């Protein structure tokens, strides 16, 4: 894929009023979500659930791409059509999660680092053959009195940059995801400071690794107090702080920014995105790449009657896509 192709795919992922659905949960993660609603965690149930999501009528009106898991990118519909073919026919760009998850960072209690660089060049080549056009790597930054250390920030952003360079070499648009967790009792000012340090480190690392910013998507958390903080922030405060930190750290050359929902309720995630777009314009589109905030309501409905509620669950997914698509334009109104 040429530089121009990378840029065109990146821009398509953040087209006006569109965002990304994240259905890249590992087998262990989806096991927990299935068990919570009483669904057996079998390969067929996982396949059926991903088909429900990816074939929801009208989904592509507000969904530009979907992040898949290794198992999912190899699966097909009940009729034997590969998911990637179904997606491309609908105008949804296939993406793939490529990191191997986090492990403790030796010497720095409480900090973690994401693994998965070993063998990544070969894995990316295979994913391209399977139909992927973009990839995702998640770094995890926790906040406590001791964390994050500067070493943890540097280790994670260095890995993100190496991954991004390998993606572009393979012809894939890299989605770089430094997630600052909501766990803890930190205030919004602390969240801001950590986001600022992480994003400055990330773009320095991308520059040092000759990564073409015009072919990168940033997936980022919002500046929110810890969920156990004594004082929570209003929707407007979260929107203002998040936009401010992005404008101070993210180059305008980037095609777009998408947010993760990361512990927020469905409506909170939509309301925050909507508020950010209402205080625009911004140097880049601000959209969404939601997992649970896109899926949870549909999963609960489907679990009650996996055959009888299939179409209704698909309608719920499409409606969540529509609401977040409107929020990406600053046009969402609660209850409508």
Residue pair 138/114 in contact (Cβ under 8 Å)? The answer is: yes
Burial of 117 (0-12, 13-18, 19+ CB in 10 A): middle
Q: Is residue 336 annotated as a catalytic residue, yes or no?
A: no
SS3 46: helix
Can you tell me the distance from the alpha carbon of 168 to that of 284, in angstroms, rounded to the nearest whole number?
A: 20
- Residue by residue, DSSP assigns 289-316 as EESHHHHHHHHHHHHH-TTTTHHHHHHH
Can you tell me the distance from the alpha carbon of 67 to that of 103, in angstroms, rounded to the nearest whole number?
A: 22
Q: Is residue 177 annotated as a catalytic residue, yes or no?
A: yes
| 307 Rama class: left (phi>0) / alpha (psi -120 to 50) / beta | alpha
SS3 323: helix
Q: Give the side-chain half-sphere CA count within 13 A for 209.
A: 22
Residue pair 173/9 in contact (Cβ under 8 Å)? The answer is: yes
Catalytically annotated residue among 7, 51, 177, 179: 177
**What six digits make up the tokens of 104?**
């403790």
Q: Give the side-chain half-sphere CA count within 13 A for 284.
A: 29
Q: In three state form, how does the secondary structure of 208-252 look?
A: HCCCCHHHCEEEECCCCCCCCCCCCCCHHHHHHHHHHHHHHHCCC
Can you tell me the distance from the alpha carbon of 174 to that of 95, in angstroms, rounded to the nearest whole number?
A: 9
Give the CA angle between residues 34, 32, 87 to the nearest 5°: 60
Catalytically annotated residue among 18, 97, 136, 219: 219
Catalytic site positions: 177, 219
């Amino acid at each position: 894929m040429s530089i121009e192709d990378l840029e065109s795919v990146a821009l398509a992922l953040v087209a006006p009023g569109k965002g990304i659905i994240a259905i890249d949960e590992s087998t262990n993660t989806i096991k927990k979500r299935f068990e919570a609603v009483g669904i057996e965690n079998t390969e067929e149930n996982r396949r059926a659930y991903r088909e429900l999501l990816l074939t929801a009528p009208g989904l592509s009106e507000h969904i530009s791409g979907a992040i898949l898991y290794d198992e999912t990118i190899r699966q097909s519909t009940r009729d034997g059509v590969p998911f990637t073919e179904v997606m491309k026919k609908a105008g949804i760009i296939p993406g793939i999660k490529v990191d191997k998850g986090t492990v403790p960072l030796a010497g720095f209690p409480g900090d973690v680092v994401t693994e998965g660089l070993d063998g990544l060049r070969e894995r990316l080549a295979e994913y391209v053959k399977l139909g992927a056009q973009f990839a995702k790597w998640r770094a995890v930054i926790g906040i406590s009195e001791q964390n994050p250390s500067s070493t943890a920030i540097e280790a994670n952003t260095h890995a993100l940059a190496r991954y991004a360079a390998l993606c572009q070499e393979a012809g894939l648009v890299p989605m770089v995801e430094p997630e600052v967790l909501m766990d803890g009792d930190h205030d919004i000012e602390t969240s801001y400071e950590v986001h600022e340090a992480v994003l400055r480190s990330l773009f320095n690392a991308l520059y040092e690794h000759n990564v073409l910013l015009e072919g990168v998507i940033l997936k980022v958390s919002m500046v929110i107090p810890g969920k156990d903080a004594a004082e929570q922030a209003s929707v407007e405060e979260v929107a203002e702080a998040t936009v401010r930190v992005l404008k101070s750290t993210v180059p305008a050359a980037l095609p777009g920014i998408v947010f993760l929902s990361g512990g927020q309720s469905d409506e909170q995630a939509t309301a925050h995105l909507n508020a950010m777009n209402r205080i625009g314009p911004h140097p880049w589109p601000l959209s969404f790449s939601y997992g649970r905030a896109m899926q949870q309501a549909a999963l609960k409905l489907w679990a009650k009657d996996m055959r009888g509620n299939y179409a209704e669950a698909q309608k719920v997914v499409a409606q969540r896509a529509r609401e977040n698509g409107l929020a990406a334009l600053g046009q969402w109104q609660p209850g409508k």
